[in-house]
Structure 1
Amino acid sequence: MAKPYQGEMAKLSETLGWAMSLDLSDLEAALQTALLGPLVAVGSGGSLSTAHALAFFHRVASGHVSAVLTPLESTAVQHDPDTSIWLLSASGNNVDIVGAAKALVGDEPRQLAALIGRNDSKIGQIAKAHPYMDLLAYAPPTGKDGFLATNTLFGAAAILGRAYSTVTPGSVSWESHGLQSVIDAVDEASPLVTRWRELASTLWDRDTTIILHGSSGAVGAVDLESKFTEAALGHAQIADFRNFAHGRHHWLAKRADQTGVVALIGDDDEDIAERTLALLPPEIPIARIPVTGSPVHSSLVSLIAAFRLSDWAGQARGIDPGDPGVPDFGRRIYHLAPSRRPALPRPSGLTRRAAVAIERKSGRTVRQLAEASELADWRRALRSFQRKLTTASIGGVVLDYDGTVVDTRHRFSPPQPDVLSELVRLLNAGLPVGIATGRGKSVRHAFQEAISQAHWPRVVVGYYNGAEISSLDDDSTPLVEQLPVPELRGIAERLLAQPELAAQTQQDHRRNQLTVTARGTLREERLWEIVQAVVRESAANVTALRSSHSIDILSPSASKLNVSTRVSEIAGTDSILAIGDRGLWPGNDHELLSLPLALSVDQTSVSRETCWNLGSPGQRGPATTLEYLRALQIDGDGRTRFAEGTLR
């Protein structure tokens, strides 16, 4: 789409105002998950610059490794399951990012997020079909960009920087002084922009521009090279100040008369930048572009600098970067369908669902298992579990709540109507239903509002991981908040006194349960190590478990098996189906999902006899719970069993 580039530049102030006014709570929540580990940022074209911004902010904020990949690169390998993968796209519709989304959603990474610049998109449709995806749609008021990415790119980078500063204020700063440099950069009449233009004026009679940068100017350098190439503004080379020292300087030895240098210089780079530039031959024009402020602000300033340098280069060379004229062969190349990831061959008779179930359970691909001559054993174990499921007459169902009945990201919203209707169907058939939760009365309120009062006596709720149990019609449970029991009291005091936890966690203390939730950049593993150390030092008979969003320390009386026992008593049978999301120790569903008839909607235990995840590939959480519940059929004789052939 062609648009005059200067018209796009005139809207940058509007885009900054929009980015500053948005409610970014959904983006911030998604970043909280991303902060727990490594991140892969995926983008192409202008969104590749956004990907570089995201990856840089992530490294600064979390200290974790981050990588930038194109859609083609992102689907060429299997990613570590603990990686967060973020897809960046202005439209959410281009064939490359859509193809990557379709491939990656089946890999089921820890987090698959899409940050896009419009509310209706093909990526959005994929996310709707796979609800575990984080869909983050923020449409800037300026609409679609011209040929080069401008406002959508700047807007996405700005909201990412702002959101990171909110969730990691100690690592990423958004203070007013640094923000002023961004405000100045988007104002064409500001002294900063006037100075930039004067500094760059000597470059435009040279065919080649070498773009030097430090860490804070890297995003702008990447984008400037991209714009010079995409709009044919000139030949551009890119290097950081020290990588330039490793041979790239030789270009100047042979082509000094054809080359100019742009140096994007941040506060932390000034010393090495000036010492490097002082050694360049004096006949080479150099534009020293200051990009000052915190890492986030200087990155945004460098991005605007790239926009403006592209504008001035275009004016000098008679090219409108927003409408450079695209040849027909270029359009045809753009619309080529990318190659699909080749499907891995499956052994004869093994369905895709079965292959994925085995891979989830074993942690290895079926190909690796076959090469190790272990696949046959895994197939037998799966068939044995499937037979046990389909031949069992199920007397009741017990479900975990967060991550199973409700999506953890929306855990304070009511349960999904589809899941509730399936539970009501089972209640109408006479089956008791149990809810085993780490929460308190909020779960009772949610179900009382959603389920007919006639069913309340047959709904068993185990509050605080089964420490307190009652039927849904009992408003006296859980008990009003009390001090922790003696086994937990000393641990609670130690947790509050632990400096790292005091600064980076939220702690909730109840009678039979202490809950510690990470805030900011505290890694899950680090939090777990600290809590484990405190528990061991106490020598108390307590249990520490991990949920989808926190760590719970439980008194000896707390167990989700208490819920299954109560449901079993009501049903008059031990044939109880258990469904949860954290079946792998130390997950808080580990005990519950050790029952013979147990299904996971996410993590599985190491046991081959139970706790399999038989959900559709590319699904997890409540979507898989719904699939399990719908597979239960009520026979004419009133018996409940899994329909033959389902979940296979």
Structure 2
Amino acid sequence: MSTPRLSSKLDALPATLDMIAGFDPSSIATALARGGARGALAVGSGGSVVAAEYFLRCRDSLGFGLTSVATPMQVVTDHFALASTPVWLFSAGGDNPDVSAAAKAAIDRGCRDINIVTRNAAGAAAALVSKCGGHVHVVPVADEKDGYLATHSLLSMTASLLMASAMVSRESVASPSPLEVISARLAASRNPGERIRLAEKWQGIRKSDTLVIAGDTLLRPVACLLDTSFWEASICPVQTTDLRNLAHGRHAWFHHRTDETVLLALTGSSSRSTWRAIEGALPEGLRRVSIDYGTCGRLANILGLIDGLAVIEAVGDVLSIDPGKPGIGEFGRAIYDDRSLETLAHELPASVRHKRAAIAKADSAPPENLSLLTICSARFQDLEQALVGGVVFDYDGTIVSTEDRFKVPDQAIIDQLVRLHRLGVKIGIATGRGGSAGDDLRKVLPPDVLPSIIIGYYNGGHIRTADVDIDLDPPAANPAIAATVTWLNKQDELFLEKTFKARPVQICIDRHRLRYPFRFALDVARCPQIESGEVRISESGHSFDIIPSSSTKTTVVEAIRSVAGDGKGVLCFGDSGSSSGNDHALLSHAYGISVGEVCGAPNGCWSLFGSTITGPTALLRALSALVASSSGEIRLDVSALKLDRQ
């Protein structure tokens, strides 16, 4: 044989299978079941991506939610939140910088259910997962050194998932048992006669040939193993697709390169008829091999992986290549050991990720000269150095959550407002609401605090102190708002239900009453008062506000600044910081802090905690960090926020 390194690894696989027979997969089963109907993200690179694909097959066969397979780089650079998504990392040693980067990124993206399947409990990635309260699933291997291609770790990971899936399915175990079937397949694949037969089957393949793998979609783990290993061992070029996608143009390769192509069809009960139709139409001289795996279930896929390893060995023998030690250039180790992805993960703390996501949403370009991390660090430094004389808050989504906006604020928030007032901090509230905000505050704030709190009702269109009931002191009617109400009443096509709140200086329209809420701003642009600039539209989390152009929440900021004292900064908190949000102007400055959306401008609105901690929860953490220094000055103790800024 020409494959001594790979062959020795494959010969020893039964020892790992024996260890699996005594392994308790209940922790993996528990984590699998916990994911249930939720979507999941499986992460792997190199040989471990095969285990990730097998994990997908297990979840699919159990009827669980959609599973995506990603590389570590995708996990680091993607934007979507992972708070409700279980993340599964697969890594034999768990020590390469890429899997560590993926672990950190998943944590920073808010993942609350992170798992790693590995043979190495002491790996760097396992340490990160364990530290954040995740789950480390250590699987046994007889040989801790896989060699160049994944062998023992791959068998251990997939067989452990097979056993765990059987637990979750609660179906009775067939006889012979799955492990007995796997053992028999391993033994057959190591039989000298079978190895010779398989090598003869692949005898005609050349290094210059292209191997096209066309597979049943339920056999993705097997196709992935072959694709990955053929490339990694530099056996020959590979193109992988499914059987029907092959028919959409890729068949042209067979026409032009019939003599330079080998087709491997991986089929099952659902794809046999498709393969028969394709095979019957193929050029006569095209070399082809087909392997059928019945229902393509969990056990069948592991048998396919064993067969795949045998094929890799056989083709390596034909071409005099040892896939277990094919030889790599001097640059290969440098590429593998590169830590740039790990560095990038550390340069993307939650606040930077949040801003990157907003930039992506706006499809705008970040600054070329300054990194977002640099801008973020400078912003935190400004906040840290500020002498705080006043604080201005949005109300809905900030002091109270959007869901609980009809309730009074939590006592913990009230306690912080009172504490800051006693410390001499001037407090303002800039809200799109009318008198209900003041009504609720008067229910929970001490009477002596109320006269000192300035409230800008109707997005700053009516300024009064919190002790004043504006139902008894309403704002004067704005003619442009009245004219806009008249116009809206004639626009039946805009509404599912033409009901909105028309106040003297503001119109409030709930999103759910609109026929096309996402184009509402465009639809009302033809309103004469909007065209003339007399009124403008702004958004909050649940509604659109139409207000006089002179109304702005920054009016409250100016009122607080005038009484905060010379040289004192005014911090501003809100949740609708996007470019169209009604807190955008309030937050787009050095002392603005979003507890919700941020805008796509690099130097615009930022958050402290990213998208993982928002609303009153984020506000409470920030307020708790506003403390008096030894000299009596109020500062934001950024260190108390426990932000990951590195």
Alignment-derived partner of residue 311 in structure 1: 313
Are residues 1:91 and 2:93 paired?
yes
Alignment-derived partner of residue 185 in structure 1: 185
Q: What is the distance in 2 between the residues matched to 1:54 and 1:351?
A: 44
List gaps (5 residues or longer) in structure 1. Answer: 355-360, 370-379, 393-602, 616-627, 632-642
Q: What is the distance in 1 between the residues matched to 2:95 and 2:317?
A: 31
Report the residue type matching 1:38 in the other structure.
Answer: G
User: Which among 211, 215, 218 is matched to residue 216 of structure 1?
Assistant: 218
Structure 1's 259 and 127: CA in aligned 2 closer, same or farther, altered over 3 A? same
Is 27-36 or 4-13 further displaced after alignment? Answer: 27-36
Q: CA deviation at 1:647?
A: 5.4
Q: What is the distance in 1 between the residues matched to 2:56 and 2:323?
A: 26
Q: CA deviation at 1:169?
A: 3.6
Alignment-derived partner of residue 457 in structure 1: none
Structure 1's 175 and 52: CA in aligned 2 closer, same or farther, altered over 3 A? farther
TM-score (norm 1): 0.54
Alignment-derived partner of residue 18 in structure 2: 17
Q: What is the distance in 2 between the residues matched to 1:228 and 1:134?
A: 33
Report the residue type matching 1:326 in the other structure.
Answer: I
Alignment-derived partner of residue 330 in structure 1: 332
Report the residue type matching 2:236 in the other structure.
Answer: G
Q: CA deviation at 1:308?
A: 1.0
CA shift digits 1:28-69 (9 cap, x unpaired): 111122224101111111111111111121122134111111
Alignment-derived partner of residue 169 in structure 2: 168
User: Which among 267, 278, 290 is matched to residue 276 of structure 1?
Assistant: 278
Q: What is the distance in 2 between the residues matched to 1:353 and 1:157?
A: 50
Structure 1's 245 and 219: CA in aligned 2 closer, same or farther, altered over 3 A? same
Question: Superposition RMSD on alpha carbons, in Å?
Answer: 4.1
Alignment-derived partner of residue 135 in structure 2: 134
Alignment-derived partner of residue 254 in structure 1: 256
SS of equivalent to 1:75? helix
Alignment-derived partner of residue 117 in structure 1: 119
CA shift digits 1:563-597 (9 cap, x unpaired): xxxxxxxxxxxxxxxxxxxxxxxxxxxxxxxxxxx
Q: CA deviation at 1:300?
A: 0.8
CA shift digits 1:433-492 (9 cap, x unpaired): xxxxxxxxxxxxxxxxxxxxxxxxxxxxxxxxxxxxxxxxxxxxxxxxxxxxxxxxxxxx
Q: CA deviation at 1:115?
A: 0.9
Q: What is the distance in 2 between the residues matched to 1:12 and 1:154?
A: 8
Q: What is the distance in 1 between the residues matched to 2:4 and 2:320?
A: 15
Q: What is the distance in 2 between the residues matched to 1:223 and 1:237?
A: 13
SS of equivalent to 2:214? strand
CA shift digits 1:189-239 (9 cap, x unpaired): 569956971783344247221112103322111110111100101111111
SS of equivalent to 1:211? strand
Q: CA deviation at 1:21?
A: 2.3
CA shift digits 1:149-193 (9 cap, x unpaired): 1111121011112211211246x9876376665333312256995
Which runs of structure 2 are paired with 1:173-572 in the superposition (5 Å)? 176=176, 181-187=181-187, 188-189=189-190, 197=198, 200-205=201-206, 207-292=209-294, 295-339=297-341, 340-341=344-345, 342-343=347-348, 344=352, 346=376, 386=416
Q: Which has the larger radius of gyration?
A: 2
Structure 1's 383 and 235: CA in aligned 2 closer, same or farther, altered over 3 A? same
8 Å contact kept, 2:37–2:64: no
Alignment-derived partner of residue 77 in structure 1: 78
Structure 1's 362 and 85: CA in aligned 2 closer, same or farther, altered over 3 A? farther
Q: CA deviation at 1:83?
A: 0.8
Structure 1's 363 and 20: CA in aligned 2 closer, same or farther, altered over 3 A? farther
**Aligned pairs, how many?**
391
8 Å contact kept, 1:54–1:160: yes
Is 144-153 or 183-192 further displaced after alignment? Answer: 183-192
SS of equivalent to 1:113? strand
Identity rate, percent? 23
Is 263-272 or 42-51 further displaced after alignment? Answer: 263-272
Q: CA deviation at 1:389?
A: 8.0
Is 183-192 or 238-247 further displaced after alignment? Answer: 183-192
Report the residue type matching 1:156 in the other structure.
Answer: M
List gaps (5 residues or longer) in structure 2. Answer: 353-371, 385-394, 402-409, 423-610, 626-636
TM-score (norm 2): 0.54
Q: What is the distance in 1 between the residues matched to 2:203 and 2:612?
A: 63
SS of equivalent to 2:264? strand
8 Å contact kept, 2:264–2:288: yes
SS of equivalent to 2:17? helix
